[in-house]
Structure 1
Amino acid sequence: MKGTSSLSLKAWSKIHPPLPRTPRESQQLLKALTSSFRRQLDREYPPSAPSDRDGSNDRTPENPHSSVHATDRHLRAILDNPLFRVVPSKSAAARNGSGTASRLQQRIAKEPMVVFDELVASGSVTLPTLRDCLSSQMLLASRHIGNGLIQAMKDARAGSKVVSWWFASDSATRQMLFKSRAATTTLVKFLVAEGRQGVVLDWLRMLANHDIGGRNGQLPEKIAQQVFGHLLVNLVTAEIQYGQGLSLAMRYYLQTCKSQMFKDNVVLNLSWQPVLLPAGVHLCESLMQSSPSRSKELNGAMYNEYIEVLSKLAPNSCLLATAPLYHPTHPDVKPFLDFVDTLPPGRVDSSTGLKRESFVRAGFDALRLLVDQDKRRDVLYLARFLQQQLPEKPDSANASNSNHGAYTEREDLLSQLDLALA
């Protein structure tokens, strides 16, 4: 029986050309794919026009937005993926058996990122193993101190490895990372140490749009904002501890706030206030705990922007009254005194918006500024208020050295003021 033309192999070959069989055909196919790929990238990253300002033949710097650069970066990311360069071990690929799980945990404790690469290569990454790999690598790096700690974090490349895996994953796997605050907190520390803060800023932009990429990457607004807030606090905290310090942390905070507060030139969406405020509080508390010399390294104009942002996020708050105390060039006590005027007499609770210890610390910092400015009436007023806020003398057996020392220092200051103003 003669076959019909619809089942003819020749007809099918016209629709689906056979794979190349000779080196020459393979080279032609590769060239065609490369050309097609670059044409698509040209649409996404239009090549910039060459400059005619000089006629020199010197080589121009590489354009990071060109299709060639994007192609190279994309191919490097593909070739660097553990799927192509790592042969997974049997213990990493196995999913069952308590003995295997125990051996896996032992390996994670000793060589966490090697195990992570193997898990990626075998498609076996889970949220617990990701969290364990990051925390174990952080524990290993913590054996060093100072600059040695940051260098150990850089050398591990834990942040870069996780980011490469994340961007190569589907939307469900991408969402998995953000389900663990412990994992993202540790991950951001590594990214900051490696100088890859741009990745965190990209994630913040994605979360602001409620879409982390992929076919089903859309997130509910409430979930996206919750993750956004946590990630912003993580970035600010990590930048202060493992990055360039308070100045850059404040710059990232202001950059992020402005992108949301003044988006599309509309009035601030009230739903963003609780999202952006916690990182602002953390910045202020970090300023209180830092040395005066570190605070003075901040740019005065940038600090004014910080106070302006706080005035929109938390008007009439203790936070807004406290921040001017730490201005790098023009510290101002008046907003704090005005805020104290609004408080009920007696001992105040933690409803000021700052931790109680932070509020009392700010009060004594304000008192020192008033003493330096020789404002005797304000000194007496604030000293009486702060005397009411001090707790009973802590038990020296149970109190920490730092708390006991702070209490003693503040008592001494108030005693000296009593003598001076008597």
Structure 2
Amino acid sequence: MQSSASRAFSILSSKIHPQLPLTPRESQQLLALLTTSFRQQLDNEYSRSPRSHSARPQLHNQSEDVVTKPSTSGPKSSHTLASKHLENVLTNPLFATKPQRRKSSTYDVKDARKLMGDPLQWFQELVASGSADIESAYLCLKAVQRMSPSSFTPDSTNHGNVGSKISDWLWSSGMEKTKPFLMNSEFIDSLVPCLIREHQEDRLWRWFTRSLQTRIREADVDVKQVRLFRAHLLKSMVTSKLNGDGGLEAAITTILRAASLRSTPSIGLSTSDTHLAGRKIVNHIISTTTPISIEVFDRFTHSAKEWSGQWELCQAILWLHSPSQPDANRGLEFLKNEAAVSRCRAPPSRRLLVQLSLGVARQLLAENRFSEGQWVLDFARRNLSEELGLQPERPPVKESSRKVSQDELGNLQLLDSLKLDL
């Protein structure tokens, strides 16, 4: 009865006189008590097996160091499990920096100075205060990029792991499952090269292979938006490889890996997710002289049906740039196929069709196949005059010989000088 009265009096007094905030020492004691209680709960839930206790006396004949050293092959103790759990909690990006009060969500001059001086520290403070978002992560990446090109080396102690830290935040905060993350292509373009250089490409594949239906449900987006995200993510990965992080063959390996995932129904992959990356590689092959093995080139060419909806067009232009023997015949066959050409209505396909026409004409003339080369030039004038910036064609005049006139050679040089990006 007395204890009940004491508790009632304690409750009443706490309402009249609220408890004062804990001192730092009291807070530390409370944390220690909670930690001890947590470990005791783990001991009760994951107690050591009797076998480990019965086997302990057999170790007394060994040296003291061996006895006291925990076994790496046996089951982990509850103390180890608790310590690891606490370590994971305390190293979470949300607790990386002491939170500071922010008067508003806007950035002032002081924020700008912090951003320019130490971008990663600035971003971590936003994370700790709960005000970080995709925009601030993007600003952090751009600021680090402007500081020094060497900032992104994996062994750098300053900002070398900025990509990993931002992706940690994306995961821990759940932002990687939101619409702002999926729809910000500039942020993806900045983050992807960082993660590839930090050897964290597996995180990119985790984003790419996330189920289509799961993305739609958790981010409140439609199918088209998910496919645009995948297409842009894969294109950024390929672009990073082409710009030096592995080279052309590494980029081809990346898209072949993506194309192979079409056999996994749960992912819901289609050529809409891979065509941008494929065309990026095709354009690179057209516009550069980067060496490539015949085996890798053939694999990429034969797989065009798996990564492009315009695979016939892509194959025709790739065979024209084969490292073993350029072949203009397949391109010529494609241009004569009215049904195939009629499917090239989208601007990217039209630009690729221009590249094919110019390349086929050049190769045919180099092989002294003048009449066929002239037919290709006429085809380009009739069907691609707008893309080439040419005036409407005059009625054709029959020629008395197969020799190419100086005017036609001049037109070919004009067409050949055009640099069209896919």
Q: 1:206 is paired with a residue of what secondary structure?
A: coil
Q: Counterpart of 2:310?
A: 314
Superposition deviation, residue 160 in structure 1 = 0.6
Structure 2 CA distance for aligned equivalents of residues 253 and 302 of structure 1: 11
- Following superposition of structure 1 onto structure 2, how do residues 28-107 of structure 1 map, counting pairs within 5 Å? 30=39, 33=42, 78=89, 80-88=91-99, 90=100, 93-96=101-104, 101-107=108-114
Structure 2 CA distance for aligned equivalents of residues 412 and 2 of structure 1: 110
Q: 1:252 is paired with a residue of what secondary structure?
A: helix
Specify whether residues 328 and 354 from structure 1 end up closer, same or farther in structure 2 by C-alpha distance, changes over 3 A only. Answer: farther
Checking the alignment, whether the CA contact within 8 Å between 1:86 and 1:118 is kept in structure 2 is yes
Q: Counterpart of 1:247?
A: 249
1:263 aligns with 2:258: no
The count of aligned residue pairs is: 341
Q: Counterpart of 2:285?
A: 287
Structure 2 CA distance for aligned equivalents of residues 73 and 21 of structure 1: 20
Q: 2:327 is paired with a residue of what secondary structure?
A: coil
1:340 aligns with 2:335: yes
Structure 2 CA distance for aligned equivalents of residues 37 and 334 of structure 1: 71
Structure 2 CA distance for aligned equivalents of residues 349 and 314 of structure 1: 8
Structure 1 CA distance for aligned equivalents of residues 229 and 46 of structure 2: 34
1:134 aligns with 2:141: yes
Taking only aligned residues, the RMSD between alpha carbons, in angstroms, comes to 4.8
Superposition deviation, residue 244 in structure 1 = 0.9
Specify whether residues 156 and 303 from structure 1 end up closer, same or farther in structure 2 by C-alpha distance, changes over 3 A only. Answer: same
Superposition deviation, residue 200 in structure 1 = 0.6
Specify whether residues 300 and 227 from structure 1 end up closer, same or farther in structure 2 by C-alpha distance, changes over 3 A only. Answer: closer
Superposition deviation, residue 29 in structure 1 = 5.3
Structure 2 CA distance for aligned equivalents of residues 175 and 340 of structure 1: 42
Q: 2:359 is paired with a residue of what secondary structure?
A: helix
Q: 2:108 is paired with a residue of what secondary structure?
A: helix
Larger Rg: 2
Specify whether residues 327 and 37 from structure 1 end up closer, same or farther in structure 2 by C-alpha distance, changes over 3 A only. Answer: farther
Checking the alignment, whether the CA contact within 8 Å between 1:210 and 1:221 is kept in structure 2 is no
Question: What is the one-letter code of the residue matched to 2:310?
Answer: A
Checking the alignment, whether the CA contact within 8 Å between 2:230 and 2:273 is kept in structure 1 is yes
Q: Counterpart of 1:185?
A: 189
Structure 2 CA distance for aligned equivalents of residues 67 and 370 of structure 1: 72
Structure 1 CA distance for aligned equivalents of residues 82 and 356 of structure 2: 53
- Following superposition of structure 1 onto structure 2, how do residues 193-232 of structure 1 map, counting pairs within 5 Å? 193-208=197-212, 210-211=214-215, 217=218, 220=221, 222=223, 223-232=225-234
- Following superposition of structure 1 onto structure 2, how do residues 116-131 of structure 1 map, counting pairs within 5 Å? 116-131=123-138
Q: Deviations over 1:155-185 (max 9, x none)?
A: 5322111111112123687554224222122
Specify whether residues 130 and 283 from structure 1 end up closer, same or farther in structure 2 by C-alpha distance, changes over 3 A only. Answer: same
Instruction: Return 5+ residue gaps in structure 1 as ranges.
Output: 9-18, 40-65, 394-409, 417-422
Checking the alignment, whether the CA contact within 8 Å between 2:123 and 2:137 is kept in structure 1 is yes
Checking the alignment, whether the CA contact within 8 Å between 1:153 and 1:193 is kept in structure 2 is no
Superposition deviation, residue 415 in structure 1 = 6.6
Q: Counterpart of 1:300?
A: 297
Checking the alignment, whether the CA contact within 8 Å between 1:108 and 1:115 is kept in structure 2 is yes
- Following superposition of structure 1 onto structure 2, how do residues 140-159 of structure 1 map, counting pairs within 5 Å? 140-141=147-148, 144=149, 151=153, 155-159=159-163
Specify whether residues 137 and 36 from structure 1 end up closer, same or farther in structure 2 by C-alpha distance, changes over 3 A only. Answer: farther
Question: What is the one-letter code of the residue matched to 1:299?
Answer: V
Checking the alignment, whether the CA contact within 8 Å between 1:192 and 1:242 is kept in structure 2 is no
Superposition deviation, residue 94 in structure 1 = 0.9
Checking the alignment, whether the CA contact within 8 Å between 1:20 and 1:29 is kept in structure 2 is no
Superposition deviation, residue 232 in structure 1 = 1.9
Q: 1:188 is paired with a residue of what secondary structure?
A: helix
Q: Counterpart of 1:364?
A: 358
Superposition deviation, residue 210 in structure 1 = 2.1
Structure 1 CA distance for aligned equivalents of residues 133 and 94 of structure 2: 16
Superposition deviation, residue 194 in structure 1 = 2.1
Superposition deviation, residue 202 in structure 1 = 0.7
Structure 2 CA distance for aligned equivalents of residues 358 and 157 of structure 1: 38
Structure 1 CA distance for aligned equivalents of residues 254 and 109 of structure 2: 41
Quick one: percent identity of the two aligned structures? 17
1:351 aligns with 2:353: no
Structure 1 CA distance for aligned equivalents of residues 114 and 128 of structure 2: 16
Instruction: Return 5+ residue gaps in structure 2 as ranges.
Output: 9-27, 49-74, 392-407, 415-422
Structure 1 CA distance for aligned equivalents of residues 85 and 244 of structure 2: 29
Structure 2 CA distance for aligned equivalents of residues 298 and 362 of structure 1: 23
Q: Counterpart of 2:20?
A: none
Q: Counterpart of 1:12?
A: none
Structure 2 CA distance for aligned equivalents of residues 34 and 329 of structure 1: 68
Superposition deviation, residue 372 in structure 1 = 5.1
Structure 2 CA distance for aligned equivalents of residues 130 and 170 of structure 1: 14
